[in-house]
Chains A and B, each alone.
Chain A
Amino acid sequence: DMKVTQMPRYLIKRMGENVLLECGQDMSHETMYWYRQDPGLGLQLIYISYDVDSNSEGDIPKGYRVSRKKREHFSLILDSAKTNQTSVYFCASSPGTGRGAETLYFGSGTRLTVL
């Protein structure tokens, strides 16, 4: 069963704490993404990863970093979280090759609240 798994589903942190959001996929997809969704702004791309240790900034990378040491796993890290990073974070993956190469498969999202 094709799946993108995000952990945790809900997270509350205090300003200044470090945050780790985890994402896994079982489809051997090359490309993985982190987006955040805010009201009225749709999905904004934070980072894209084309494969292990091949990461590229998206449109809003400031305040975030990522790690991809295995193809099936992509982490988003917030060093010293800020209140304006309160959002819903979606991880996604895409095959990168073949039919439907560009199709994004999304995880269920992590709702992060920074107090």
Chain B
Amino acid sequence: GQQVKQSSPSLTVQEGGISILNCDYENDMFDYFAWYKKYPDNSPTLLISVRSNVDKREDGRLTVFLNKSGKHFSLHITASQPEDTAVYLCAAGVNQGGSAKLIFGEGTKLTVSS
């Protein structure tokens, strides 16, 4: 089964609004969680990540919330802009001495309309 799941394949948000992207996972052992952004015909790039010892991390307009008991994490993008339009991939993994065998979700296509 899919260990990391993004239940919403797409999301549309008005410019200036808050985009909320969700991700659920199954493995209790996951201790590293990340969000990657991917433009069409481009490679994924890391946006933000957290370890399991924190439940929130902010970086500019981005905030990751981690709910370990619910096996859920989310990415909030405030003041959404048209250039935020992309596919967002969540990923989770177990840190093994620095390397993490990352399992990715299916992706959510975010469209920010102006």
A-contact 0/1 string along B19-60, CB 8 Å cutoff: 000000000000010101000001111100100000000000
What residues of A have a CB within 8 angstroms of the CB of B77 in the complex? none
> How many of chain B's residues touch chain A, expressed as a range?
20 to 34
What residues of A have a CB within 8 angstroms of the CB of B34 in the complex? 102-103
What residues of B have a CB within 8 angstroms of the CB of A30 in the complex? 98-99
> How many of chain A's residues touch chain B, expressed as a range?
20 to 34
Give the complex CA separation of A104 and B97 in angstroms.
15
What residues of B have a CB within 8 angstroms of the CB of A107 in the complex? 43
For residue B78, CB closer than 8 A to chain A, the reply is no
For residue B73, CB closer than 8 A to chain A, the reply is no
Label chain A's interface by main secondary structure: loop
Residues of B participating in the A interface, judged by any CB pair closer than 8 Å: 4, 6, 9, 32, 34, 36, 42-46, 49, 89, 91, 93, 95, 97-107
Task: List 7 other contacts, CB 8 Å, given A102-B100, A103-B46, A104-B44.
Answer: A40-B9, A42-B107, A44-B104, A48-B101, A59-B103, A101-B100, A107-B43
A/B interface sample: 8 pairs, CB < 8 A: A40-B106, A44-B104, A50-B99, A59-B103, A96-B97, A103-B49, A104-B36, A106-B43
